[in-house]
A and B are shown apart, each in its own frame.
Chain A
């Protein structure tokens, strides 16, 4: 990708970046180099940069190590600036430079309600109780003895795009769509644990609770719990990241992100929903008539062009690849169409294999830009036959109750305007 085509957050300033020094022989050289004032990037180790890497030895291999990304890469999650505290806030995945379908663990979006809990796995247990024949308590080693599964799944916050209901508000795809990420999750099927305890016939709901300061709770229907939920300890081939719920997270495939309870410590079965704060006062969709939709679980089919996207500048007319992501909480993406004329005409994009259920799918379309203003859109279809609507179609059904409408579950078609000077911006066009 040409340098001028890239868009990312500005590299953090030297003062607010935690630097990682090479210890031992390299430390003096690193420190000397750093004093010259170069900025570090989060997640990278700074090395002196030779004029010609083929004329000097490289960095010796360490006896033990954990890899770091290149010091030249700058992609970072960025926090939404308008929450009143960083303890209950969210950070966005930088989708604009995303490749393929998997989100690097360190760039997976975050949403937490009382900060990132730091949990010692040796003192962490999962309790299962309530309407079961025998309550259970499992340590982490106990849980890892069960037969496990791995599955690539997206998680999307139901608030993804909440600023965009009534007018284009934020500039980049990171800010408008960055609350979705895909990882390979590994753990034990929740049904295995429920069968182990023996579900009483009157049980209808499972409460999942986190070990964080919010003791985050959501009620999950028992049929969903038995169908495909996973009690996960693994993410992309290693243990979960702390901000993703280390050491244990409930994965609720296709359902809104806040139900994927992090730092999972407890499951309680009951004959009714618990009506917790997060499923009554918060993650509900208030309509103009004053009624609020409740238990809007599924994240419906959605797509977005990640490149070109808002904030980028095309280096000039000519060939550009249009690429983006599509996903559906109800199934598998079967088709993505792309328009470069604001929806007047559409061309079917190529779907990169693999295309998996409840997972990001990567689409691509070659585009010969003539240098005139263009409106880029993508529209996906899933295997239930659902076609991604325009924002206008959603607003026609759900209304706009206040500046951000019904807040959650905005899955409308995104429009990016490419101006004749190559600048790409977020617009509404429907």
Chain B
């Protein structure tokens, strides 16, 4: 049998080692060199800003221009006063998060709940509008972001947003999040 040869034994040992490594979740340190190196152009289509603004694309927009973008693309789901409908309510709700009344829901909106303005740009850029995601230009996304933030009285009506200042927008609920404290220990009931 070929497995009685030294090469065969080494092969068996290697396969066994790989099997054990996989079973134990151990990391595979080998290099396989499958695949290719993506080009800058291929990666440029992906936009994922960090909360400090790194990764935001070029472009800019104002609330005034954003109003038109909103009315053309967003109003049908989010309402003429950003009050929500098929889509989420976008403004209002400040002061409703502190609540222990089980009959009254907190109003979680961009204005009341979202901690970072970069998230708003990121989400609209990637996923909105629902029926044609990823179709808005960077200028349009900056503009409609400005419109929503201005309607939420978070920025001034005439402020122009771009990669240089979006991350500096101070969201009302910026300090509203805490790390997961679990696991909680409960005594056996």
A positions within 8 Å CB-CB of B: 84-85, 87-88, 113-114, 127, 129, 134-139, 142-143, 145-147, 149, 166, 189, 191-192, 195-196, 207, 209, 213-215, 217, 226-228, 266, 268, 270, 272-277, 280-281, 284, 286, 288-298, 300, 330, 343, 379, 384, 386-387, 389-390, 393, 397, 399-405, 413, 430
Q: A145-B32, A214-B126, A300-B182 are in contact. Are A289 and B25 (CB under 8 A)?
A: no
What separation, in Å, do the CA atoms of A157 and B84 have in the docked complex?
25
List the one stretch of B3-11, B94-102, B136-144 in contact with chain A. Answer: B94-102
Instruction: Indicate if the CB atoms of A136 and B86 lie closer than 8 Å.
Output: no
In the complex, the chain A residue whose C-beta lies closest to that of B43 is A129
B:1-58 near A, CB below 8 Å: 18, 22, 25, 27-38, 42-43, 46, 48-52
Q: Can you identify 20 A-B contacts, CB atoms within 8 angstroms?
A: A84-B87, A87-B130, A129-B38, A135-B43, A137-B42, A145-B34, A196-B32, A217-B122, A272-B51, A275-B119, A276-B122, A277-B114, A277-B119, A277-B127, A286-B97, A288-B100, A291-B178, A387-B186, A401-B100, A402-B104
What separation, in Å, do the CA atoms of A272 and B48 have in the docked complex?
12
Which of B43, B86, B127, B180 contacts A84, CB < 8 Å? B86
In the complex, the chain B residue whose C-beta lies closest to that of A289 is B98
Instruction: Indicate if the CB atoms of B22 and A217 lie closer than 8 Å.
Output: no
From B29, B32, B116, B118, name the one whose CB has the most chain A CB atoms within 10 angstroms.
B32
Q: A85-B86, A147-B18 are in contact. Are A214 and B127 (CB under 8 A)?
A: yes
Residues of B within 8 A of A405 (CB): 102
What separation, in Å, do the CA atoms of A330 and B86 have in the docked complex?
36
Binary contact readout B150-185 vs A (1 if CB under 8 angstroms, 0 otherwise): 000000000000000000000000001111111111
Please give the distance in Å from A430's CB to the nearest CB on chain B: 7
Instruction: Indicate if the CB atoms of A276 and B123 lie closer than 8 Å.
Output: yes
Q: Which 9 A-B pairs have the closest CB atoms?
A: A290-B98, A402-B105, A288-B100, A138-B35, A215-B126, A389-B186, A137-B38, A290-B97, A400-B102
Instruction: Indicate if the CB atoms of B22 and A149 lie closer than 8 Å.
Output: yes
What separation, in Å, do the CA atoms of A403 and B123 have in the docked complex?
27
What separation, in Å, do the CA atoms of A88 and B97 have in the docked complex?
24
Chain A contact surface mostly: loop
Number of A-B contacts (CB under 8 A): 197
What separation, in Å, do the CA atoms of A413 and B87 have in the docked complex?
33
Please give the distance in Å from B79's CB to the nearest CB on chain A: 12
Q: A292-B178, A386-B183, A402-B99 are in contact. Are A217 and B126 (CB under 8 A)?
A: yes
Chain B contact surface mostly: loop
Instruction: Indicate if the CB atoms of A403 and B27 lie closer than 8 Å.
Output: no
B positions within 8 Å CB-CB of A: 18, 22, 25, 27-38, 42-43, 46, 48-52, 85-87, 97-106, 108, 110, 113-116, 118-119, 122-123, 126-127, 130, 133-134, 176-186, 188-189
Instruction: Indicate if the CB atoms of B189 and A389 lie closer than 8 Å.
Output: yes
Please give the distance in Å from A277's CB to the nearest CB on chain B: 4
